[in-house]
Amino acid sequence: MKNCIACGMPMEKAEDFATGDESKEYCRYCARPDGSMQNYPEKLASMSGFIVKTQGLSEEAARLAAREMLSRLPAWKGIAGRN
């Protein structure tokens, strides 16, 4: 089983992958409408927003947590933490 390189989500079924393409390394939630992978600022914003929406944390706490989580994922090694 693959994990999305940009958010860590497990990807099992074709529909979990971006555009339903199982050769992709990232999931449907990390894809832009055109199927390409979101960049770091986009992912940081969407992940922070998701944390706020689902867990109700303050925006600042959510952004800190998201930044920390992204820094451990293959897509953002060396990028995360500078923003």
**Residues found near other proteins in the complex (CB under 8 A):** 8-10, 12-13, 47, 50-57, 62, 64-66, 68-69, 72
What is the phi-psi region of residue 31: left when phi exceeds 0, alpha when psi lies from -120 to 50, beta otherwise?
A: beta
Determine what percent of the chain falls in helix, strand and coil, rounding each to the nearest 5.
Answer: 50, 10, 40
Shortest distance (Å) from residue 55 CB to other proteins: 6
C-beta of residue 25 within 8 angstroms of C-beta of residue 16: no
Shortest distance (Å) from residue 56 CB to other proteins: 4
Q: Which is nearer to other proteins, 37 or 47 (CB)?
A: 47
Shortest distance (Å) from residue 37 CB to other proteins: 19
Closest CA to 38 of 65, 72, 4: 4
Q: Which is nearer to other proteins, 25 or 69 (CB)?
A: 69
